[in-house]
Structure 1
């Protein structure tokens, strides 16, 4: 897909810069359109040259690539000069890059994923210097109470999928779990998982998973090992699409489990849609938002914050349930097809104002 390819190229450029940033001058990508603003922009957006940085923990994987695509396009629509810092999964590097972003003279910063312990000193430093900061998917406000925190509604996302899993497999069944502790959205989904385990009398036969800059590749052998030791599981919950991909890869290494294990995941992309709709695919349901739309919405949230117009310090983005049956019955092949079939994925009205040219996917 053109948008993903462009973002991949951007990620490579960022890598070549070492710990520095890449200045982004985006082109139109991923079937986006821009709704023109009808109102006059307030300061600082009434003048050109507004500078913003995104400091991301990792840019690898379908979700993160789409998110950055949405970030780039909404920033371009607002006339923002955007710099991208990619720590490639290294927490210490992300903290260093946050300091670099602060020193670069930006007026706003988006911090995407990471850990409060390493990020809070930099976040508070930025706020103390008058830089507006918006966080995505980090539980930051206990140590940085003045930061704006944004996130998907992870409780809802997990509940939608686990309701479907309970409907499909019933109660009292052996199940597997592929997740990683310490990642804010995955921790929130874990809380819901623990509730459903008890309510449905499921027996968790294993928990495994690893969060790296190559999560799917690094986790697949771990899932393969536990599947071989626990061939009686009837379902696996893997609440991040790179973990879901790892589970699918591991199941391919265990042909005796073909047709016996259902997989329930999270997130959606064109690559995920292809995996879900493949013949004999075990991935039957996922909880999803459009990462492009969320990336754009977070930029709008920062813009409102910079303009002094943001109402509150917390913004959540609602998910939907996407099932394999739905994708197949509607002939959905890619994200454009899914957006057409599920208008709820378009959240252009979230964090919006008449002076903001909204990017719609």
Structure 2
């Protein structure tokens, strides 16, 4: 029987706390994507190879943070695919604490799981555990952590973050033109945000944009912690025309921060990621959120778990898997009356990744 186990950090002396499936959130954050998407499951037509030809396969996901719409959707997709595949999935959530994530990775290894997904985090704290897992015969899939140099035997998966940034910044350039005064909300040291930052720097240099500030906080409550920082930065730089905030929790914090400053109604905001909550914010009357680069995190969570299954079965071609993004604009959402993720998937079927990392023996989850 398939089961889910959730663990959040920090870890106490008696061991990790176990929570029910619906209760795996980060800190005091409540899931904003409820009820969760169940997805549709395609029927497997082939015979499963070892080890999936027998019951008892145990997998784990060790995530740096479970806070925010994107991460909640991602975990939902992971869980739905695990359920379809009939495997046990243990969920570890470090709640933004890097040392706890390393400890939880060690715990997953000691519990003898067959495969591990490591989602976000930092190479310095994760590489020793990743290499230890691989040395013990545990298959490891990385999502959005740059550890190719220190753990080359781990399979790397990620969004195409450079493309995501380019799509959004092309639209920003179209709207504000060259030589504009702009703001930037981002925190460095996190792989996908670093990749988006590289593209941002190129656009600033190539188009003569005057970056007035960089601010933001990546915490257990990113949006609420970033908002006052944005307010202060905008008050000190009242001439900005646009802000790039390449993570939807940053984008939400930016919108809240701008709401506290009169006269900023014309400041345009460009973000990343998409969720039901994000769609509602973009569609709202007077919304500053013009465009976002996005994948469906539900679909990615499922695809990464399928990638792990193929790797464990010896059927994965290559050591990297990228997931392509699309551009979602405020005009598209309003003109096509897209009110939620279900509507967006119907309008943008390329968000569905059920054919990525698929095989005839895997019942793929389609969102």
Match of 2:185 among 173, 178, 182: 178
Matches within 5 A, 1:47-86: 47-86=54-93
Superposed displacement of residue 24, structure 1: 7.3
Aligned to 1:210: 217
Deviations 1:126-180 (A, max 9, x none): 0000000000000011100000010000000000000000001111110000000
Gap change, CA 1:344 and 1:178, over 3 Å in 2: same
Superposed displacement of residue 207, structure 1: 0.3
Question: Which of structure 1's runs of 4+ aligned residues deviate more than 3 A?
Answer: 13-19, 21-26
**In 2, Cα distance between the equivalents of 1:194 and 1:157?**
14
SS in 2 for 1:218: helix
Judge conservation of contact 1:22–1:85 (CA < 8 Å) in 2: no
Match of 1:324 among 313, 330, 342: 330
Judge conservation of contact 1:160–1:321 (CA < 8 Å) in 2: yes
1:154 partnered with 2:150? no
SS in 2 for 1:246: helix
**In 1, Cα distance between the equivalents of 2:343 and 2:109?**
40
1:91 partnered with 2:98? yes
Judge conservation of contact 2:11–2:100 (CA < 8 Å) in 1: no
**In 2, Cα distance between the equivalents of 1:53 and 1:280?**
43
Match of 2:359 among 329, 339, 353: 353
Superposed displacement of residue 255, structure 1: 2.3
**In 1, Cα distance between the equivalents of 2:357 and 2:17?**
26
Normalised to the residue count of structure 2, the TM-score between the two structures is 0.92
Aligned to 2:228: 221
**In 2, Cα distance between the equivalents of 1:128 and 1:16?**
26
Superposed displacement of residue 31, structure 1: 4.6
**In 2, Cα distance between the equivalents of 1:131 and 1:24?**
26
Q: Which runs of 5+ in 1 are unaligned?
A: 1-9
Aligned to 2:25: none
Judge conservation of contact 1:70–1:295 (CA < 8 Å) in 2: yes
**In 2, Cα distance between the equivalents of 1:129 and 1:187?**
31
**In 2, Cα distance between the equivalents of 1:98 and 1:24?**
20
User: Higher helix share goes to which structure?
Assistant: 1
Judge conservation of contact 2:9–2:100 (CA < 8 Å) in 1: no
Matches within 5 A, 1:28-43: 29-43=36-50
SS in 1 for 2:203: helix
Gap change, CA 1:21 and 1:340, over 3 Å in 2: farther
Moved more, 177-186 or 249-258: 249-258
**In 1, Cα distance between the equivalents of 2:219 and 2:229?**
13
Gap change, CA 1:153 and 1:248, over 3 Å in 2: same
**In 1, Cα distance between the equivalents of 2:85 and 2:103?**
27
Matched residues, number: 349
Aligned to 2:317: 311
**In 2, Cα distance between the equivalents of 1:255 and 1:32?**
43
**In 2, Cα distance between the equivalents of 1:190 and 1:65?**
24
**In 2, Cα distance between the equivalents of 1:56 and 1:219?**
22
Normalised to the residue count of structure 1, the TM-score between the two structures is 0.94
Q: Which runs of 5+ in 2 are unaligned?
A: 23-34
Superposed displacement of residue 14, structure 1: 4.0
Superposed displacement of residue 21, structure 1: 6.4
Superposed displacement of residue 23, structure 1: 7.8
Deviations 1:180-229 (A, max 9, x none): 01000000000000010011110000001111111111111111100000
Aligned to 1:4: none
SS in 2 for 1:226: helix
